[in-house]
Amino acid sequence: MIEGKDLRVYFKSRDIVVKALDGVNVSVKDREIVGIVGESGSGKTTLGRTILNLQKPLSGEVLWNGKNVFKLKGKEEKEFRRQNQIIYQNPYEAVDIRLKVYDIVAEGLRVHNIPKDKEEESKIVMETLRDVGLTPEDEYAKSLPNQLSGGQLQRVAIARALVLNPSFIVADEPVSMLDMSIRAGVLDIFKRLRDERGISIMMITHDISTLGYVADRIYVMYQGKVIEHGSTDAVLDKPLHPYTQALISAVPIPDPSGRTSLFSIKVKEEMEPYNGKGCRYYPRCPFAMASCREKEPNLSGVSSDHYVACFLY
């Protein structure tokens, strides 16, 4: 469906070059939720933006149904923009606070000249608001963003992406601003979109535990590289990379009786700076060997649905 090949995005800040994406391969198939997980600075947001042609890469290509998206022009580019949508982490910053919910959602429809008349526009908008659980929809349509809670506004942001009937959505930390108690409701919307409408979703997050409930496959990123990827079951049940293991063990367990064994994470505080040639994770890795300092490991398959970049395997 959509595929990124050997993507490289470097940012220059004075004389420092930050490799936000350093040779990343990623694919999202039809009817699939793919999770991208990593800490801040791992390049996960840059990946989402590059896939949607919001960031031009230094090299590499993104194929959308076989076409290179960086070469799309005119009508084709507009169609790409309609079919591929993004949802941001902070809905308060993502919507125009002066517009009513109705207009926020309808704006995209107008840009793409989709509805024939006002009546059809209203029908599509109302249906979409119902779809994301904002009922009674005519009440919500009239509200302004400052009258809504974060969870309600995030649903508006989803409705805005959905109204254009996209085939692919990048959701960048869609629930991390929301209360725990309403996250499941928003995650359920994404699952429904996949199951009922066949929409593919790339969900970007720093919290691997939410992916356990929605993703079909997971990519783990560290400093601009994919260091492990595979089916959700493979990655979560048998995490191989020491970084993935640390990510999973850092998820707080909601059970006070197991307290003594908590925080079993083995991560070193980064003491030595990265030497520029070894594995990016070796300064923090508790299992680092001499070879890890010399050469970067490549992704290699341990099974048909599980890949890891680590010399331990």
Q: Toward another protein, which CB reaches closer, 2 or 132?
A: 132
Q: Closer to another protein by CB, 107 or 207: give it.
A: 207
Is 95 within 8 Å of 107 (Cβ atoms)?
A: no
Positions in 39-68 near another protein (CB under 8 A): 39-40
How many Å apart are CA 85 and CA 177, to the nearest integer? 20
The residue among 32 and 173 lying less far from another protein, judged by its C-beta, is 173
Instruction: Kindly tell me which residue out of 56, 73, 74, 254 binds another protein, with binding defined by CB under 8 A.
Output: 254
Alpha helices in 132-177 (DSSP H): 137-142, 150-162
Q: How far is the CB of 107 from another protein (least distance, A)?
A: 25
Residue closer to another protein by CB (options 37, 87) is 37
Rounded to the nearest whole angstrom, what is the least distance from the CB of residue 61 to another protein in the complex? 30
Are 35 and 27 in contact, with CB atoms under 8 Å apart?
no
Is the bond preceding 297 in cis, omega lying within 30 degrees of 0? no
Pairwise CA distance, residues 243 & 265, whole Å: 10
Q: Interface mask (CB under 8 A) for another protein, residues 146-185, using x and -?
A: ---xxxx--------------------------xxxxxxx
Task: Please give the size of the binding site for another protein, defined by CB under 8 A.
Answer: 42
Identify whether the C-beta of residue 298 lies closer than 8 Å to the C-beta of residue 309.
yes
The residues, any chain, with a CB within 8 Å of residue 234's CB and separated by 6 or more, are 303, 305, 306
Q: Report in angstroms how near the CB of residue 200 gets to another protein at its nearest.
A: 21
Task: Specify the residue, 163 or 178, whose C-beta has the smaller distance to another protein.
Answer: 178
Token code pair at residue 234 = 């493979």
Asked if residue 135 binds another protein (CB under 8 A), the reply is no
Among the listed ranges 61-69, 79-87, 248-256, 288-296, the one in contact with another protein (CB under 8 A) is 248-256
Which one of 256, 273, 276, 304 is in contact with another protein (CB under 8 A)? 256
Q: Which amino acid is at 39?
A: E
Nearer to another protein, 180 or 290 (CB): 180
Percent helix, strand, coil in the chain (nearest 5)?
40, 25, 40
Which of 109, 178 has the CB closer to another protein?
A: 178
Binding to another protein (CB under 8 A): which residues in 257-276? Answer: 257, 259, 262-263, 265, 267, 269
Which of 233, 222, 205 has its CA nearest to residue 303?
233
User: Which token pair is 284?
Assistant: 């923090």
Question: For residue 18, which of 6, 28, 10 has the smallest C-alpha distance?
Answer: 10
Report, in Å, the least distance between residue 72 CB and another protein: 35
* In contact, 85 and 170? CB cutoff 8 Å: yes
**Contact residues: another protein, CB under 8 A:** 39-40, 149-152, 179-188, 206-210, 212-213, 236, 246-257, 259, 262-263, 265, 267, 269
